[in-house]
Chain A
Amino acid sequence: AQKITQTQPGMFVQEKEAVTLDCTYDTSDQSYGLFWYKQPSSGEMIFLIYQGSYDEQNATEGRYSLNFQKARKSANLVISASQLGDSAMYFCAMREPSGYSTLTFGKGTMLLVSP
């Protein structure tokens, strides 16, 4: 079974609108971390936001917020006021405490922002 599922291969949004990118995860651990990364066409993975499983508040970083619903095992990324530069691949990843705290990535969602 996949540990990280991103069901949206592609998303389209108009500039200045908000968009939600979906991510569900599967783990039996109580302590874990969830990450979102952005990968523009240049190829570099850029860290956006982090949510710990015990964090009571949803994480926010500027225009990025994470809608964390623990019972549903979902960690959706919300981008407010989309900009043209937000066009990129977005990856959800999970870090589990077992093993060596490695990251497991989903398959990604391609976001295209139109003027």
Chain B
Amino acid sequence: AQSVTQLGSHVSVSEGALVLLRCNYSSSVPPYLFWYVQYPNQGLQLLLKYTTGATLVKGINGFEAEFKKSETSFHLTKPSAHMSDAAEYFCAVSDSGANSKLTFGKGITLSVRP
């Protein structure tokens, strides 16, 4: 069985500050890992994914994440927060490929202060 842990439910940063959203996973097989963003009253939008290969993954809107097998982590970062980054962020894991069933974490709400 797979699981995802996103510690904390809310992160607040100042505009221009580093964004760090943590994600730890559990999987019995090499995982496929994802970060999704959800704006109010909208569906989930894929930010980035790790399948195989390079462990540092770059996504849309300046976000990136690093797969660390030894730490079972896939933390999301962005060097400089923008007001438009305020949203809910979900980490997810799949053990069967990028088009297979996903197990999501509970999500983290990111607030950006002016």
* Genuine A/B complex: no
